[in-house]
Amino acid sequence: MANKKISIEEMSIWDDAHQMLRKAQRDGVETAWDRLAQQTPHCTSCELGTTCRNCTMGPCRISKKMPLGVCGADADVIVARNFGRFIAGGAAGHSDHGRDLVEVLEAIVNNETSDYAIKDAEKLLRIAKEIGIDIEGRGIKEVAKDVMDVFYADFGSRKKEVAFLSRVPKKRKEIWQKLGLTPRGVDREIAEMMHRTHMGCDNDAANTMLHAARTSLADGWSGSMIGTELSDVIFGTPTPKMGKVNLGVLKKTQVNVLVHGHNPVVSEMIVEAANSSDMIKKAKQAGAEGINIAGLCCTGNEILARRGIPMAGNHLMTELAVVTGAAEAIVVDYQCIMPSLVQAAACYHTKFITTANKAKFTGAIHFDVKPRHALAQAKEIVGIAIEAFKHRDPNRVDIPGEPVDIMTGFSNEALLTALGGTLDPLLDVVKSGKIRGFVAIVGCNNPKYRQDSCNVGLAKALIKKDIMVLVTGCVTTAAGKAGLLVPDAVNQAGSGLKEVCTALGIPPVLHMGSCVDNSRILHLCSLIANALGVDISDLPVGASSPEWYSEKAAAIGLYAVASGIYTHLGHPPNITGSQLVTDIALNGLEDLVGASFVIEPDPIKAANLLDARIAEKRKGLGLPT
Ligand code: XCC
Ligand code: SF4
């Protein structure tokens, strides 16, 4: 964890970051690391989670001297309430993103847009069947309309359980039923979380924690899963392909447009616009050789996995991408977009463009992007970038380094295809121990860590132990820059994993998409568990978010645990002010849902913990450890 004065080398493990951090200093651009130093030390009570601001009799802070808030709430109640709201925030983010995809599907079904279409009809039909919709002899739009209705209903209050519970292993569903964890509706669980944590409602910390788990399950098995599946239906299901990563993907001679945020609904259109001959012509008239789109964070993951669009960087690279002075525009949708980017962009010729009414930034150029006119709007946006190219100052441009190759596009469908259409070959190598297990490393950057040191350190340590690693979100960029997302990386893996990956021609670390795409990993776990006739908690699998920062990452961690997956975090959420809540997270959940959180900042120690867990689960299945 960082304290005040650290060197640039200590801020990140990457050379492109170091170079841009130096340039930021020269150019007078403040970064997250500067602001972290200003904010350190943080408020202790807030770090412990014992500050309550839920009413105006307070705010209250709990300490030995003041053990109760004005209303009488103790540390346990306050910590659980704060944690519950934190989870609700994360679940709301992912799920509202998922809802936006349902709205695009609605526009398609109602013939209100020609900019979006159903690209993967086969997948739509497969999903329809899974959620109990009749497909025989019906037109694709007719089926799509029913899918849309079922998914809209998933957000509401009329259901006993969300649609994709059809994917959940029977034993898992029974556990949820028994504990009252079955997610009924996305908006319902989130609203109930807000209700429970109002003054004078749920004043039993354990009970609040259980509802937090239920809320997270609504995210993982509904909101996020709908987001992933409909994105595949509308934009195509990812297939293996090559891409490139790091700030070196920006091009000196082209109009560079950075797309940042999460939802492919906008970034896909920007890519379409940039590929259109009229825009390319315009760019050439402006003196550029072409238009280069580069991704940041999760919307970058979406277009990387589906189209092989290069990835400029992850969370802590977003400001530094602007510092290159080579970005004509940064086009954002929502989530994880630092407000500071407006000021950073203003230091250069870079245009900062927002596209969602729910995520406006003061000082930005705003477009309310809607399905009906999305492509035309995207062209306008790209036009602004082309115009900005004329004002680029070549003396202030510095694009560091050479891009690194990566392989991407490992959807479950792609994985099954690579395996010859069935899971059996995968199960066989797991049984023999060539692949001992799987760990999903997901989530963010956080300036409290040396950027990506833990993300990369953990991935490297795990593949050495013949544990296959799956990455999403901002860990993608980390693993990619470290050279772990290419087939050649098998040379860094243990002999068993190396043998399997070499035979399949795949890397030992597989890129499965964005953060909502963690739902792919849930789905894969249930496919494997169902094939073996066991629960997810019996599988030799684990999850990890070593450098997480966001509410969404916490929701992901909690739905992983509640789904039966042992989950490592580099640092705890702000819950340590309650022994009870901390105990539930680290131990108590194990008895209830068959998994728990484990906290460990050191990636090597974390790898050993995940390894021990996998060995224990292998033993439970009667497999060699
Ligand atoms: Fe955001 Fe998804 Fe975290 Fe990256 S990994 S910093 S949440 S962009 Ni989701
Ligand atoms: Fe204080 Fe209770 Fe109000 Fe929270 S809800 S601010 S603990 S009085």
pLDDT tens figures, 391-409: 999 999 999 989 999 999 9
pLDDT tens figures, 436-471: 999 999 999 999 999 999 999 999 999 999 999 999
Ligand 1: residue whose CA is nearest its atom 6: 444
DSSP code, position 242: E
pLDDT tens figures, 199-233: 999 999 999 999 999 999 999 999 999 999 999 99
Residue 597 φ then ψ, to 5°: -85, 155
pLDDT tens figures, 511-556: 999 999 999 999 999 999 999 999 999 999 999 999 999 999 999 9
- CA 157 to ligand 2 center in whole angstroms: 29
Rounded to an integer, what distance in angstroms lies between the CA atom of residue 205 and that of residue 581? 7
Q: Which residues contact 614 (CB under 8 A, 6 or more apart)?
A: 436, 437, 439, 467, 540, 541, 542
- CA 213 to ligand 2 center in whole angstroms: 23
Rounded to an integer, what distance in angstroms lies between the CA atom of residue 321 and that of residue 399? 9
- CA 601 to ligand 1 center in whole angstroms: 19
| Cα separations in angstroms, 520 against 139, 151, 246, 387, 486 | 27, 17, 25, 40, 21
Cβ pair 453, 603 in contact under 8 A: yes
Indicate if ligand 2 lies below 6 Å from the C-beta of 62.
Answer: no
Looking at the predicted structure, is the pLDDT value of residue 130 above 90? yes
Rounded to an integer, what distance in angstroms lies between the CA atom of residue 295 and that of residue 315? 11
| Whole-number pLDDT of residue 5 | 79
Looking at the predicted structure, is the pLDDT value of residue 2 above 50? no
* Ligand that comes closest to the CA of residue 76: 2
Rounded to an integer, what distance in angstroms lies between the CA atom of residue 265 and that of residue 285? 28
Looking at the predicted structure, is the pLDDT value of residue 137 above 90? yes
- CA 133 to ligand 1 center in whole angstroms: 33
Question: In order of start, what are the domains of the chain with their CATH numbers?
Answer: 75-235 (1.20.1270.30), 247-396 (3.40.50.2030), 410-620 (3.40.50.2030)
CB atoms inside a 10 Å sphere around CB 57: 11
Q: Which residues pair with 437 in a beta bridge?
A: 467
If one residue of 474, 514, 520, 545 were mutated to test the ligand 1 pocket, choosing by the most ligand atoms within 8 A of its CB, it would be 474
Ligand 2: residue whose CA is nearest its atom 7: 69
- Whether residue 447 is preceded by a cis peptide bond, meaning omega within 30 degrees of 0, is no
Looking at the predicted structure, is the pLDDT value of residue 364 above 60? yes
pLDDT tens figures, 15-59: 999 999 999 999 999 999 999 999 999 999 999 999 999 999 999
Question: HSE-up of 483 (CA within 13 Å, CB side)?
Answer: 8
Indicate if ligand 2 lies below 6 Å from the C-beta of 74.
Answer: no
- CA 56 to ligand 2 center in whole angstroms: 7
Q: pLDDT grade, residue 89 (50/70/90)?
A: very high
Report the DSSP pairing between strands 60-61 and 291-296.
unpaired
Q: What is the mean pLDDT of residues 350-366?
A: 98
How open is the CA angle 101-105-109, to the nearest 5 degrees?
Answer: 170
Q: Which residues pair with 52 in a beta bridge?
A: 60
Q: Which residues pair with 467 in a beta bridge?
A: 437
* Ligand that comes closest to the CA of residue 445: 1
Ligand 2: residue whose CA is nearest its atom 2: 71
Ligand 1: residue whose CA is nearest its atom 2: 298
Cβ pair 29, 347 in contact under 8 A: yes
Q: pLDDT grade, residue 432 (50/70/90)?
A: very high
* Ligand that comes closest to the CA of residue 295: 1
Residues whose beta carbon lies within 6 Å of some atom of ligand 1: 262, 297-298, 314-315, 336, 443-444, 473-474, 515, 550, 552-553
Q: What is the mean pLDDT of residues 494-519?
A: 98
Mean pLDDT, all residues of the chain: 97
Indicate if ligand 2 lies below 6 Å from the C-beta of 52.
Answer: yes
- CA 518 to ligand 1 center in whole angstroms: 12
**3-state SS string for 382-407:** HHHHHHHHCCCCHHHCCCCCCCEEEE
pLDDT tens figures, 325-342: 999 999 999 999 999 999
- CA 515 to ligand 1 center in whole angstroms: 7
Relative to the CA of 81, which ligand 2 atom is closest? 4
| Whole-number pLDDT of residue 4 | 58
| Whole-number pLDDT of residue 94 | 98
Relative to the CA of 70, which ligand 2 atom is closest? 8
Q: What is the mean pLDDT of residues 472-491?
A: 98
Of all residues in the chain, the percent with pLDDT exceeding 90 is 99
Q: pLDDT grade, residue 320 (50/70/90)?
A: very high
